[in-house]
Chains A and B, each alone.
Chain A
Amino acid sequence: MKQVLIIDDAATVRMYHRQILEEAGFGVDEAINGIEAIEKILSKKYELLVVDVNMPKMNGYAFLQEIRSKAEVYQAPAIMVSTEAEERDRQAALQAGANFYLVKPTKPGELSSAARLLTGSAS
């Protein structure tokens, strides 16, 4: 089972994304900010990261920039999810190290499809 780490400060969003990804066949862990996420990815290999933008302590951009600069970290693909829907937001996410950008609220089909695509699980 491929492992996904959901990084979001909103509990409801984490639960919603967990339900979608578990139904799609992924194993899921959660972190509430970038700092907690870094601790988790240093101790476990994740095949996919689902990263919120606005989080306290370490936001999604800072988190991705940090892990993309670390050679010792497995460079899992990342889906950035945000309430911000403008093209400049998508570009900022890709520049920070995201591989895919989804605007909240996500639809179950779009998140599961993107997750399968980025993890090579597409059927």
Chain B
Amino acid sequence: MPLIKPVKRTDTPDVTASDSLPIADLLSMLGSELPEVRQSALSGLVEYPEAAAVLCRQFESEQDAATRDMIAVVLSRMGGAQTVEGLLPLLRSDNATLRNSVIGILKELPAEVAPHMEALLDNPDSDVRILVVNVLESLRHPKVEDWLIAVISVDAHVNVVATALDLLREVGTDAALPALGGVTTRFPDEPFIAFAVNNALKQIQSAG
């Protein structure tokens, strides 16, 4: 009896040429149960900025780690306002890994994030404001110090101020000194704030 190797039937599409597929086909592939098909779709979708909102939703729900990492790369390359607006709500996620991934992408998009910064620093959720201050760390925007000074001057949440103090220690100049002087008065019972203010003052004065 001849040995016949069974041919496994599969509905896996050809995933080698997704770059040339229309966006509708790529979005359909993104719904596949197979991670390799979803990954193939992503390599084509990078050419379609209008897919940003869908990719942000997929980023939130994606269960496969490699595919999620690939979505992060695509969103970083894609950039644009739609990407930033799709990612910002994910900063409120309960999933710490997702939040950190979102911060990582936003840090790659300084020009797109900057117009949202003042509104983000006014977000009623202090956890979001802490994450936004973390984004400032690598934003390389001329207003970063101004934003940080505003945070330590007016934000009522001790951990938002603490996060801003940590960054101000690195990027602050003499312009931050008056505001730094007022922080301990606003949080007189927080030893960490006193420590962080002293640290920032020392660092800025020694660098100046």
Q: Is the Cβ of B99 less than 8 Å from the Cβ of A10?
A: no
Q: Is the Cβ of A16 less than 8 Å from the Cβ of B134?
A: no
A61 at the interface (CB under 8 A from B): yes
Binding stretch for chain B, among A39-47, A50-58, A66-74, A114-122: A50-58
A3 at the interface (CB under 8 A from B): no
Residue of A with least CB distance to B158: A105
Kindly state the separation between the CA atoms of A35 and B14 in the bound complex, as whole angstroms. 37
Residue of B with least CB distance to A17: B192
- Measured CB to CB, the closest approach of chain A to B118, in angstroms, equals 22
| Contact residues of A between 14 and 63, Cβ < 8 Å to B | 15-16, 19, 53-56, 59-62
Kindly state the separation between the CA atoms of A105 and B159 in the bound complex, as whole angstroms. 7
Number of B residues contacting the other chain (C-beta, 8 Å)?
Answer: 28
Kindly state the separation between the CA atoms of A61 and B99 in the bound complex, as whole angstroms. 13
A2 at the interface (CB under 8 A from B): no
Q: Is the Cβ of B195 less than 8 Å from the Cβ of A16?
A: yes
Chain B residues with CB under 8 Å of A105's CB are: 158-159, 162, 190-193
Q: How large is the interface on A (under 10, 10 to 19, 20 to 34, 35 or more residues)?
A: 20 to 34
Chain A residues with CB under 8 Å of B96's CB are: 53-54, 59-61
A1 at the interface (CB under 8 A from B): no
Kindly state the separation between the CA atoms of A84 and B125 in the bound complex, as whole angstroms. 11
With A61-B97, A105-B190 as given contacts, are A83 and B127 in contact (CB-CB < 8 Å)?
yes
Contact of B166 among A10, A19, A53, A61 (CB under 8 A): A10
- Measured CB to CB, the closest approach of chain B to A50, in angstroms, equals 14
A123 at the interface (CB under 8 A from B): no
B163 at the interface (CB under 8 A from A): yes
Q: Is the Cβ of B130 less than 8 Å from the Cβ of A83?
A: yes
Chain A residues with CB under 8 Å of B170's CB are: 11
Residue of B with least CB distance to A16: B195
Chain B residues with CB under 8 Å of A61's CB are: 96-97
Chain A residues with CB under 8 Å of B158's CB are: 105
A106 at the interface (CB under 8 A from B): yes
| Contact residues of B between 167 and 182, Cβ < 8 Å to A | 169-170
- Measured CB to CB, the closest approach of chain A to B90, in angstroms, equals 14
B100 at the interface (CB under 8 A from A): yes
- Enumerate 7 A-B pairs (CB-CB under 8 Å) in ascending A order: A15-B199, A16-B195, A54-B131, A55-B100, A61-B96, A104-B162, A105-B158
- Chain A residues in contact with chain B, CB under 8 A? 10-13, 15-16, 19, 53-56, 59-62, 83-84, 88, 104-108
Instruction: List 12 additional A-B contacts (Cβ < 8 Å) besides A12-B169, A105-B193.
Output: A13-B162, A15-B195, A15-B199, A19-B195, A54-B99, A54-B134, A62-B97, A83-B127, A88-B94, A104-B159, A104-B192, A105-B192
